[in-house]
Amino acid sequence: MKKPACWTVFLCLLYASISWTTQAETRPRNVILMIGDGMGLAQVTMARLSKGTSTALRMDAMKVAALVFTHSANSLITDSAAAGTALASGFKANNGMISVLPDGKVVETFLEAAQKRRKSVGLVTTTTITHATPASFGAHVSSRAGEADIAPQYLEKKIDVLLGGGRAFFLPKSAGGSKREDSRDLLQEARAAGYAVVDTREGMTAVRQGKLLGLFQMSYLTTEAPEPSLAEMTGKALELLSPDKDGFFLMVEGGQIDSRCHAQDAAGAIKQTLDFDVAIGKALEFARKDGRTLVIVTADHETGGLTLIAPEAGSKEKIRPNWGTKDHSGINVPLLADGPGAVQFQGVMDNTEIPRKLAVLWRLAGFAAR
């Protein structure tokens, strides 16, 4: 009789360990959401072809793919504010609104929900840190133009890592180049609240722990040296956020694919997409070592109505970019996912489903309740 009992215990332990492992594999501790602003499939294809016909991008290695609807509450053609709100809160807003609904209701963002779970949080972008996409995660304003009102909200929320441009919105109006209309010195307020405040790549590199506010330009980043690259900012954010035993949420925006496509600048769009891809590589490298991190790459919308057509006779180009508009288009955008829980993100979905699915993975009861 002793042997069967022994085997029963063994089988129970085996079952428990398998189910624990499965659970660990399907529920990420950390989430990295990477948003290519304006990045449609043509932008990705154009960037890939710029490296040679047989070259893969880092994002091409991601295991799961989906298509995402991007329309806003009041338009088939969304802007970054309404799309950011959908990606951050799980609700449709009107164009221009930052995590506030058309009826004025303020909605909880995934970043805020992560903080409730005691997770560390970060926002990284190549535009102003107060621009529509990061703002949708860390602030609530009825108009995206209120960047001066968005900046102090980040500090009130104690967002752990903030890296990008837009220093002008943190300086008092007496300072040259300030875009504030009051005398608040948010850089000083951040220091007083325990942040390391830096404005150079070297300054950023030297910070090894704690909260970090790095603003490397008054407005958008140049995305050229001596600034830190998007990948370097992503790496620093991961270094500072990952020691949190409760996990972290990090949003990284490739923010200038959009502006280059508004300008119908194919070379610029390629550069911005490739920079974003290197940052994606950084996130994937971290996630594969860590094993508990879900990485999602998507876009808020496509910009430029870009198609890729045959080059002119005699041209050395592989393909010719053909712009359909100087504005955003209404086409679906791609989504790529990798890591525990990635399988939840396959198929065709609305952009509001993305944070809702993340909330299910993190068991955030009540998030985006209608």
- Of 72, 80, 142, 178, the active-site residue reads 80
> What is the rounded CA–CA span in Å between residue 176 and residue 167?
11
Binding pattern to Zn ion, positions 247-276, x when CB under 5 A?
A: -----------x------------------
> Which H or E run includes 212?
strand 212-215
**Closest distance of CB 70 from Zn ion, Å:** 12
- Report DSSP letters for 294-322, one per residue: EEEEEEEEEES--EEEPPPTT---SSEEE
CB of 80 to Zn ion, least distance (A): 6
- Min. distance of Cβ 257 from Zn ion in angstroms? 9
Q: In this complex, which beta carbon is closest to Zn ion, that of residue 258 or of residue 353?
A: 258
8 Å CB contact between 29 and 286: no
Residues 189-218 that bind Zn ion (CB under 5 A): none
- Return the DSSP state at 59: G
- Cβ partners under 8 Å of residue 188, min gap 6: none
Residue closer to Zn ion (CB basis): 258 or 277: 258
- Three-state DSSP state, 334: strand
Q: Least distance in Å: CB of 46 to Zn ion? A: 17
Provide the sign of the torsion angle of the four alpha carbons 267, 273, 277, 279, taken in this order: positive
Of the pair 149, 258, the CB lying nearest Zn ion is at 258
Count CB-CB contacts under 10 A for residue 198.
20
Question: In the range 92-151, which residues lie near Zn ion by CB under 5 A?
Answer: none
Complex with Zn ion: residue 180 or 260, whichever CB lies closer: 260
Query: What residue type is assigned to position 197 of the chain?
Result: V
Size, binding site for Zn ion by CB under 5 A: 1
Which of 178/329 has CB closer to Zn ion? 329
Catalytic annotation present for 183? no
Q: Which amino acid is at 359?
A: A
Taking the CA atoms of the chain, what radius of gyration do you get in angstroms?
A: 21
CB nearer to Zn ion: pick between 180 and 301: 301
Tell me how far, at minimum, the Cβ of 31 lies from Zn ion, in Å. Answer: 25
Shortest distance, position 328 Cβ to Zn ion, whole Å: 6
User: Taking Cα atoms as reference points, which of 185, 210, 186, 80 lies closest to residue 132?
Assistant: 80
* 121 neighbors 248 (Cβ within 8 angstroms): yes
Q: How far is CA 344 from CA 66, 320, 360, in A?
A: 10, 36, 10
Give the residue numbers marked as catalytic.
80
Which residues of the chain form contacts with Zn ion (CB under 5 A)? 258
